[in-house]
Amino acid sequence: MREKIKESGISFVECNGLTNSGNINIKIDYYEGMKKAYYYLTKLGHSKIAYISGLGPDTSNENTRPERLEAFRWCCEQFNRENIDDYIIHGDPPYHTDFKKGYEYGHQLLNRNLNITAVIVVNDYMAIGVLRAFKEIGFRIPEDISIISFDNTVYAQSSNPALTSLDSPVFNIGQKAVEYIIQQQKIPVEDRKNIVHHYPMKLVIRESTAPPK
């Protein structure tokens, strides 16, 4: 489909598409976003931090959005953590990152008995399920376990407690996409270049994170 659109000469921009698409691609910088989340938790005093991905373990497959997983591993290595894989919950294809899976993976993580004090979750919707699972076991958020999620949607703002979350700059992405499309219309198809534009994520601190006991 992408190639047919390009051949037609129609101006288009991909948002969070594949990096090597040969087209203009505006991406959210999930890699740096994960680093922000991880370092924020370490500043609070956390060291046993887990990551619920819900996606696949293959970081060479862009379809599984590997940036967050790669960044989590990198952060763990910087703090000389061992047995990193024990602290990561992957999903099974077809991948779903919703409330139901968050609930399932939350229980799965606790069953590993790792004595974690903080967890980073791939998105807000899944984090709500994780939150429910933790509460059912008797954990208090954030007194016993801190939670950070991605996207800063209405789920993060309205949950109890409200979730600390990394904001996805969707308005800025849409605005930039329109600017690129207008620019493309002035350039012959054969002269259009592959451009990857990354937007940073902002950490919005709420009630779900606190120093460990």
Per residue in 130-157, pLDDT tens? 999 999 999 999 999 999 999 999 999 9
Residue 188 vs residue 64, higher pLDDT:
188
Q: 137-158 burial, b if ≥16 CB within 10 A, otherwise e?
A: eebebbeebbbbbbbbbebbee
Mean pLDDT within 165-172: 90
Mean pLDDT within 93-120: 95
Domain ranges of the chain: 2-204
Label residue 167 exposed, middle or buried (CB < 10 Å: 0-12, 13-18, 19+). middle
What CA–CA distance (Å, rounded) separates 149 from 166? 6
Question: Residue 133 has what DSSP assignment?
Answer: H
Mean pLDDT within 37-46: 98
User: What pLDDT score was predicted for residue 52?
Assistant: 97
Question: Residue 169 has what DSSP assignment?
Answer: -
Q: Quick check: 126 and 149 in contact, CB under 8 A?
A: yes
Measured CA distances, 154 to 36, 100, 124, 164 (Å): 21, 18, 8, 12
Residue closest to 86 by CA, chosen among 112, 111, 68: 112
Q: How confident is the model at residue 27 (pLDDT cuts 50, 70, 90)?
A: confident
Average pLDDT, the chain: 88
Q: Quick check: 66 and 30 in contact, CB under 8 A?
A: no
Beta strand spans in 11-53 (E): 14-15, 24-28, 49-52
Helix/strand/coil for 198: strand
- Tens digit of each residue's pLDDT (9 = 90 or more) over 50-90: 999 998 887 666 655 789 999 999 999 999 999 999 999 99
User: What pLDDT score was predicted for residue 11?
Assistant: 65
Q: Work out the end-to-end distance of the chain between its first and last CA atoms, rounded to an integer number of angstroms.
A: 53
Tell me the pTM: 0.88
User: What pLDDT score was predicted for residue 86?
Assistant: 97
> Residue 48 corresponds to which tokens in the numbers above?
């046993």
Give the CATH H-level superfamily of domain 2-204. Response regulator (3.40.50.2300)
Label residue 125 exposed, middle or buried (CB < 10 Å: 0-12, 13-18, 19+). buried
